[in-house]
Structures are given as C-alpha cells and as structure tokens.
Amino acid sequence: MNSVTAHDYAWIRTSPLFGHMMENGYTLTLIRGRTPREVLRAMEAEPRGTGQGTAGLIEADDAHRAEWEDDYWDDSYVAGAFSAPGADGDWTLVLGFEGGLGLPTPCVEELAKGGRIVAHSANGGKPIDLFHWFEDGELRTTFEVPWSRDGNTPDELVRVLREVGSPLTPEGEHDERAPDVDRKAAVLALAERLTGVRLTESLLQDAAYELGLVPEQPLEEWTGPAIDIPDARKKRLYRE
C-alpha cells in the first residue's frame, strides 16, 4: 500500500525547478494508459520535436514566446510529455508552464474514457492552486483548498486527504486544531496515491520530453441573464 504523505514532498520548497514552476505557473497532468504522442495529439499540439529534461522544455517554450510581436499575446504554449511507471502500468506525464488546467474539456473527456487523469496546477505568483481528478471521463473531485471540494464525488478522497496530511475532520471539514501542513506537498502526495507515480526533481529534470505546441483555446461563450429595462409605463425600453 502506498503510504506517501506530504512529508515525502518537502523537497519542493528547496527545489529551484519547483520554484520556477510556482513562479511562472504550471500544470502537471498524469494520464493512465495513453502514450505521450497520443496525449499531445488529443491536445491538438503541433509537434515540436524532443527536449532533454525541463531545461529543453523551458528553452522551447521561451523560444515560442519570443516569436510573439510586442503588441500580441496568446495563451498557446509548449508542453512536454513522457512516460513514467506507476500503478497499473505506464502513465504519461504532461508538463506545461501555462498556469491553468492544461487540458481542454473535450480532450479530458476523450483521454479519461475508461481511465484516470490526475492534474495539479498553480497560476504563477498568485495564491490559486488547483487539483483535479477525472475517472472514466467525469470530474470526480476538484478543489483549491481541500475543505472546499467540488465534483461528482467531492467526498470520496477525504480519507486519503487526511492520510497525506491535509487538516480535515473525518467529515471533510477544515480541522483548525490539526497541525499546519504544506498544502502543495499534500496535493503531490495525493496525486501519487492516485497514480503510483513518484514525482521527483530528477524525474522531471532528466526525462526526454516529446514536445508539442498547444494552441490557444477558444473562449467559452458567456451568456448572462436577460433583463428587461422598462420605462415608467412598464413598456420595455431594451433588453440586456
């Protein structure tokens, strides 16, 4: 049984690599049973060759951003993917420095069919750190802080969250009497519990990444409520 806890990930706070990830924003996604090439294809990523370690990935992403004009900006980025051993076989690890979920919804639904996806992220310099667990195409649990969870089964991971060190009561509420814990380290421990993939600095630094340029995702159309603005005689002037 995997007994990893937040203590096993204390190294992240002295890691220059993880410091770069937190400062610039990142998403690290683990997908079971899919090859790196399959994952990048599902992300509609344009192949960009290979990169040796995170140094190669960062260099490729920096080169892409340097191509932008001074007055132009988009959310495309270079992602890197490689295979890592974990529970029930190999997993694909995808790393991108874009500070979001990293995988668009249709992509997640396709890749998680009959499988599992676990992702954690930070948006870079701001206190937003997210966790997502997908199972067979559905979002089972997601949270920013572990005592405020959402998803189709938001309480399913409460026991495991407590085991890795998150300050929760057995009912899943915030336990203010529990000792302080590094919440990011606890999230990485939770990801290992769900995947069997032990994340280390050397694993990320030394891997041979398949690289792909992930295009900017279209904004979802937002529709607000219709509000009738009447005049004093109750006749509609316009609708907002």
Tell me, what's the pLDDT at 234?
44
Q: Is 180 helix (H, G, I), strand (E, B) or coil?
A: coil
Structure tokens at 73: 């900006």
Count CB-CB contacts under 10 A for residue 71. 5
- Dihedral, CA atoms, 63, 65, 68, 70, nearest 10 degrees? -110
pLDDT at 97: 87
Task: Please give the Cα distance from 38 to 55 (Å, whole number).
Answer: 23
For residue 69, being part of any structural domain is answered with yes
Q: What is the mean pLDDT of each run of 10 residues along the chain (240 residues)?
A: 90 94 92 94 92 93 79 79 94 86 72 91 84 93 95 97 96 93 96 97 96 77 46 43
Quick one: pLDDT at residue 98?
Answer: 77
Per the structure block, which two tokens stand in for 168? 């929760």
Is residue 220 domain-resident? yes
Burial class (CB in 10 A: 0-12, 13-18, 19+), 223: exposed
In a domain, 209, yes or no: yes
- The count of structural domains within the chain is 1
**47 within some domain:** yes
1 lies in some domain: no
Per-residue model confidence (pLDDT) at position 168: 96
Query: Containing domain of residue 139, as a range?
Result: 6-239
Alpha-carbon Rg for the chain in angstroms: 20
Q: Is residue 79 part of a domain?
A: yes
* Residue 100, both tokens: 């979001």
